Amino acid sequence: GHGDDAANLALVLERMAGVADRTARFVCAAALVTPGGREATAEGVLDGTLTERPRGSHGFGYDPIFQPLGSALTTAEMPPEHKDAISHRGKAFRAIAEDIVGLLR
C-alpha cells in the first residue's frame, strides 16, 4: 500500500517478472512562483533500470531496485552523498537554485 516501501517494491517486482525491458526513470519537477508572479521551473532526470531483486540499505522508496545507467550499484547501495550528487531531485533543485538567484536580483 501507499507508504509501505517493502510492499511497493514487492508489487513492482511481481509486475515486472518476466519483463525484458526494465528501463526506468526517476523524474523531479521543481517550481517556484513569487508573490509578484515571477516563475522558475526546473526538471531533473535520472535514467536507469530495475533490478531483479532489492539490493542495498540506504535511501527509501524504489532505491533498492533502481540502478542508474553506468552504475553497478543501486541507489540504495550508494553512499548518500553519491546518490545526492546524481539524483533527479538534486539535479532539479540545483538547477532551480540558479534561477532563484536570478529572480532575487
H-only helix segments in 1-79: 5-16
Contacts of 33 (CB under 8 A, 6+ apart): 39
User: Comparing 102 with 25, which gets the higher pLDDT?
Assistant: 25
pLDDT band with cut points at 50, 70 and 90 for residue 5:
confident
> Which residue ranges make up each domain of the chain?
5-103
Residue range 5-103 forms a domain whose CATH class is alpha beta
b/e for 40-52, b at 16 or more Cβ within 10 A? Answer: bebebebebbbbe
* pLDDT, tens only, 7-59: 999 999 999 999 999 999 999 999 999 888 989 999 999 999 999 999 999 98
User: Could you tell me the pTM of the whole model?
Assistant: 0.85
